[in-house]
Amino acid sequence: MADGDIFEQLKQSIIDQDEDEVLAAVDKALGDGVDAKAIIDKGLLPGLNVIGEQFESEDIFLPELMQAALAFQAAMVVLEPKIKESGGADAKKGKIVLGTVKGDLHSIGKNILKLLYETSGFEVWDLGIDVDLFQFVDKAKEVDADIIAISALLTTTLIGQRDVIEALKDQGNRERFKVIVGGGATTKEWADTIGADGWAASAYEAVTLSAKLVS
Amino acid sequence: MHMRHIELLTAKQVERVHEASLEVLENVGILAHFSAAREVFARHGCTVDGSSGLVTFPPEVVERYMAMAPPSFTFRGRDPRFDRTIPDDGPVVVTGSSAPNVVDPLTGVERRATSGDIANIAHLVNDLPGFDVFSISTLAADAPEGQFSLSRFYPALKNCLKPVRSNTPNMADLHQVVALGELIAGSADAYRERPIINHHYCPMVSPLTMDVDSTEAVMWLTERGLPVYTTVVPNAGLTAPMTMMGCLVVGNAEFLAITVFQQMVREHTPVIYASLPTVADMRTGAYAPGAIETGILIGAQAQLARFYGVPSGGYIGLTNAHSNDAQSGFETGMNTVFGVSAGATLLNMGGLFSSLMAFDFAKAVVDNEIALMDKRVWRGLEFSEENLALEEIASAGPGGSYMGRKHTRARMKTTAVLPELAARDMRAQWEEAGRPDIHARALAEARRILAEPNDAVWDAALDATIRDHFAGLVAGDATPLEA
């Protein structure tokens, strides 16, 4: 089979949002001796680009976007070790420290964002839910993060987002990290008030925003 | 009986939902993050996995404690005339709560809400007859350090005689708020006798999880017999299956778990089957509490609540709209009228735009009018021999007019809702008045009310006692909107 065909098949398997089809196409490509990096760059990522466009135009819905992202992630489980084996480093777009504020146990929106970050080439440290402000700060310093992304669903504990920014200021670390906020309790105006570097209405927009912030 | 309820399920289907919920609690379980809550469950017959916090419920344990839940719940206000008990007092209309923002009544621009806004909203709600309970509508961005909740409860209680309801984010705040209640009551004993603060929390984080902070607050209040109820918030497509029935089952299992918990902590604790069920907008995952599916689910839940013998309702009539437009009206109106028709008697419906993000004074006045109509729906036809008015029909006779008759005059103010805002004039009159839309008419009414003195404010001596006790407290005074 010509290389072009196998890349087209990889791309189409992502567009079809079918994990089995993606894994079969990846397996076949590897069997044909196609380089893991090329499988991602020339096959899977072009597929994800199409998915992104389809989502933006509402041709597909969020569950479909997630199915495609999960299929991509399953492929990466196979492909990442091969890239490491061949000594090639998978260049990441940026490092994200992610979590839900103290007092808030809502995780679903944050987990969607994590998935979209990872499929968009970011490296993510997910601190989970009910995250103390210093956990955000300490982890960001430890991994030398580019962005701290803080989710909040409850209006009553929303203030935890501001506390992280204030703590960074107190430590003289505010300039070192970009801080973005989101979640059901937040607005653009709130993000501006607390001096965040950005706000996004949805997980999808948060990824676009983050790509801009690290570029 | 006021009216027959709309029923979405057959009696058999209701029983199946109950059984299905028991299956979920027995086989899937609840994740309890608060260790003291796990101990309560373990002591009362549940199986608790110490390492994961997973609690599973034998069906007979659920049945035993559910049977203890009383049939009614009472909200108490500073003035007992405003006490309301559901379901007997019919639909109890409550403001939407804890929005971070307010639409500034002067500029029309959304901004962070303050304690002054809360004072004004309290005054407004105290005056608007459609509202029964003031759930503190916003946060207070001007709260001094360490007084996050006091800065909400103090202006609310000071300016409103009706029952005040809200939450606190942590135990320190809860203790302050109860201390405030005791000062108002005159003593701790007097407060225990008539607790006028009505606490509300969402300890169940859907799906099937109990948090730490709210669970601790619910447990503390329940132990002391202070009024507290909870809301479950299943979201189909995100935290519950993408079917109405699946969403109903997850929400029902969550309600059973928290109710059983409260009965284990203190037997016969009054509860409300309150929820905010939604179906997520799957195009983007957007939260859609204004969607009609919320009304349908709360309607079904009212039927389940009758099966359990407890009052029900919840956040119904919220809107995703950002202004007083047709969407705002139809989302609040359609959902609440359906909920009431199905037997829901708690309606957390008033005053908020943008899901739960911003309070608007005019929206609250519009919702007051919708609330009065909802209550009219509840009254129904008022069937009686007397109301058949056969003597009156005979007396007026064929071709007669009922307009000038005593029978008519005696009932002209009570048979129908007399709306203050809904237009009933002719188009020419409306044009002459400058074509005021519903928002303009409602905002004018809010201004009129807030320009009047507020008789609800407590006396200076009590205020001085409270201000002495809590140094640095916000002013908490209502002011005319165009000061």
B139 touches chain A (CB under 8 A): yes
B212 touches chain A (CB under 8 A): yes
Of A62, A155, A184, the CB nearest to B139: A155
A105 touches chain B (CB under 8 A): yes
Please report whether residue B393 resides in a domain.
no
pLDDT, mean of residues B303-327: 97
Residue B156's CB is within 10 A of a number of other CB atoms, namely 28
pLDDT, mean of residues B182-200: 97
Please report whether residue B403 resides in a domain.
no
Residues of chain A with CATH 1.10.1240.10: 3-85
Give the integer Cα–Cα distance in Å for B348 and B198. Answer: 14
State the smallest CA–CA distance between residue A154 and chain B in angstroms: 9
Q: Which pLDDT value is given to residue A155?
A: 87
Please report whether residue B401 resides in a domain.
no
pLDDT, mean of residues B142-153: 97
Give the integer Cα–Cα distance in Å for A39 and B81. Answer: 73
Residues of chain A with CATH 3.40.50.280: 94-214
Please report whether residue B171 resides in a domain.
yes
Alpha carbon B420 to its chain centroid, in Å, reads 23
Residue B340's CB is within 10 A of a number of other CB atoms, namely 31
Chain B residues inside the 8 Å CB shell of A67: none
Give the integer Cα–Cα distance in Å for A180 and A96. Answer: 10
Q: Which residue of A has its CA nearest to B32?
A: A105
Q: Which pLDDT value is given to residue B74?
A: 98
User: Nearest CA to A155 among B172, B116, B152, B217?
Assistant: B152
**pLDDT at residue B482 greater than cutoff 80:** no
Contact A112, A149 (CB under 8 A): no
CB contact under 8 A, B357 and A187: yes
CB contact under 8 A, B285 and A157: no
Q: Which pLDDT value is given to residue A85?
A: 83
pLDDT under 70: residue ranges of chain A: 1-3, 89-90
State the smallest CA–CA distance between residue B33 and chain A in angstroms: 10
Pairing of β B54-56 and β B47-48: antiparallel
pLDDT in tens, B52-97: 999 999 999 999 999 999 999 999 999 999 999 999 999 999 999 9
CB contact under 8 A, B169 and A156: yes
Contact A173, A164 (CB under 8 A): no
The residues in A 170-199 lying below 8 A from B, measured between CB atoms, are 184-185, 187, 189-190, 193
Q: Which pLDDT value is given to residue B107?
A: 92
Chain A residues inside the 8 Å CB shell of B112: 189-190, 193
Q: Which pLDDT value is given to residue B61?
A: 98
pLDDT in tens, B11-40: 999 999 999 999 999 999 999 999 999 999
Which band of pLDDT confidence, cut at 50, 70 and 90, is reported for residue B348? very high
B336 touches chain A (CB under 8 A): no
The CATH number that applies at residue B478 is 3.20.20.480
Using CA of residue B92, residue B320, residue B99, residue A152, what is the dihedral sign?
A: positive
Chain A residues inside the 8 Å CB shell of B241: none
Percent of chain B with pLDDT over 70: 100
Residue among A59, A105, A131, A153 with most chain B CBs within 10 A, to mutate? A105
pLDDT, mean of residues B112-126: 97
CB contact under 8 A, B211 and A112: no
The residues with which B458 forms a beta bridge, in sequence order, are none
SS3 of chain B: CCCCCCCCCCHHHHHHHHHHHHHHHHHHCEEECCHHHHHHHHHCCCEECCCCCEEECCHHHHHHHHCCCCCCEEECCCCHHHCEEECCCCCEEEECCCECEEECCCCCCEEECCHHHHHHHHHHHHHCCCCCEEECCECCCCCCCCCCCHHHHHHHHHCCCCCEEECCCCHHHHHHHHHHHHHHHCCHHHHHHCCCEEEEECCEECCCEECCHHHHHHHHHHHCCCCEEEEECCEECCCECCCHHHHHHHHHHHHHHHHHHHHHHCCCCCCCEEECCEECECCCCECCCCCHHHHHHHHHHHHHHHHHCCCEEECCCCECCCCCCHHHHHHHHHHHHHHHHCCCCEEEEECEECECCEECHHHHHHHHHHHHHHHHHHHCCCCCCHHHCHHHHHHHCCCCCCCCCHHHHHHCCCCCCCCCCCCCCCHHHHHHCCCCCHHHHHHHHHHHHHHCCCCCCCCHHHHHHHHHHCCCCCCCCCCCCCC
- φ/ψ of residue A206, rounded to 5: -65, -35
* DSSP for residue A110: H
Please report whether residue B478 resides in a domain.
yes
Q: Which pLDDT value is given to residue A91?
A: 73
Chain A residues inside the 8 Å CB shell of B111: 189
Q: Which two tokens stand for residue B299?
A: 């309607």
Which band of pLDDT confidence, cut at 50, 70 and 90, is reported for residue B388? very high
B108 touches chain A (CB under 8 A): no
Q: Domain containing B133: what range?
A: 1-383+416-483
Of A103, A106, A185, the CB nearest to B100: A185
Instruction: Report the SS3 class of residue A215.
Output: coil
**pLDDT at residue B193 greater than cutoff 80:** yes
Count structural domains, chain B.
1
Chain B residues inside the 8 Å CB shell of A187: 100-101, 110, 357
CB contact under 8 A, B170 and A203: no
CB contact under 8 A, A62 and B284: yes
User: Nearest CA to B116 among B163, B164, B156, B149?
Assistant: B156
Residue among B205, B210, B242, B355 with most chain A CBs within 10 A, to mutate? B205
The residues with which A149 forms a beta bridge, in sequence order, are A98, A180
Give the integer Cα–Cα distance in Å for B475 and B425. Answer: 42
Half-sphere exposure of B12 (CA within 13 A, CB side): 0
- Would you say domain A94-214 falls under CATH 3.40.50.280? yes
Please report whether residue B1 resides in a domain.
yes
Across A176-190, B119-133, B141-155, least confident range: A176-190
Q: Is B80 exposed, middle or buried (0-12, 13-18, 19+ CB in 10 A)?
A: exposed
State the smallest CA–CA distance between residue A97 and chain B in angstroms: 23
Q: Which pLDDT value is given to residue B1?
A: 54
CA angle at B232 for the pair B334 and A205, rounded to the nearest 5°: 80
Give the integer Cα–Cα distance in Å for B199 and B219. Answer: 12
Q: Which residue of A has its CA nearest to B235?
A: A108
CB contact under 8 A, A187 and B101: yes
CB contact under 8 A, B285 and A193: no
**pLDDT at residue B426 greater than cutoff 80:** yes
Please report whether residue B407 resides in a domain.
no
pLDDT in tens, B446-464: 999 999 999 999 999 999 9
Give the integer Cα–Cα distance in Å for B47 and B41. Answer: 7
**pLDDT at residue B167 greater than cutoff 80:** yes
Q: Indicate the pTM of the whole model.
A: 0.92
Contact A128, A97 (CB under 8 A): no
CB contact under 8 A, A156 and B98: yes
State the smallest CA–CA distance between residue B431 and chain A in angstroms: 37
* DSSP for residue A174: G
CB contact under 8 A, B284 and A157: no
H or E element at residue A95: strand A94-100
Q: Is A141 exposed, middle or buried (0-12, 13-18, 19+ CB in 10 A)?
A: middle
Instruction: Indicate whether this complex's ipTM tops 0.85.
Output: no
Could you report how far apart the first and last alpha carbons of chain B are, in Å?
48
Query: Omega before B270 cis (within 30°)?
Result: no
- φ/ψ of residue A209, rounded to 5: -60, -45
Give the integer Cα–Cα distance in Å for A172 and A175. Answer: 8
Rg (CA), chain B: 23
Q: Which pLDDT value is given to residue A87?
A: 74
Q: Which pLDDT value is given to residue B211?
A: 95
Q: Which pLDDT value is given to residue B126?
A: 98
Across A102-111, B129-138, B235-244, B267-276, least confident range: A102-111
Amino acid occupying residue A110:
K
User: Nearest CA to B298 among B356, B261, B341?
Assistant: B341
State the smallest CA–CA distance between residue B283 and chain A in angstroms: 4
User: Domain spanning A3-85 has what CATH number?
Assistant: 1.10.1240.10
B323 touches chain A (CB under 8 A): no
Q: Which pLDDT value is given to residue A90?
A: 63
Please report whether residue B389 resides in a domain.
no
Of A105, A156, A202, the CB nearest to B209: A105
Residue B273's CB is within 10 A of a number of other CB atoms, namely 30
Q: Which pLDDT value is given to residue B308?
A: 98
User: Nearest CA to B237 among B298, B205, B279?
Assistant: B279
SS3 of B331-382: HHHHHHHHHHHCCCCEEEEECEECECCEECHHHHHHHHHHHHHHHHHHHCCC
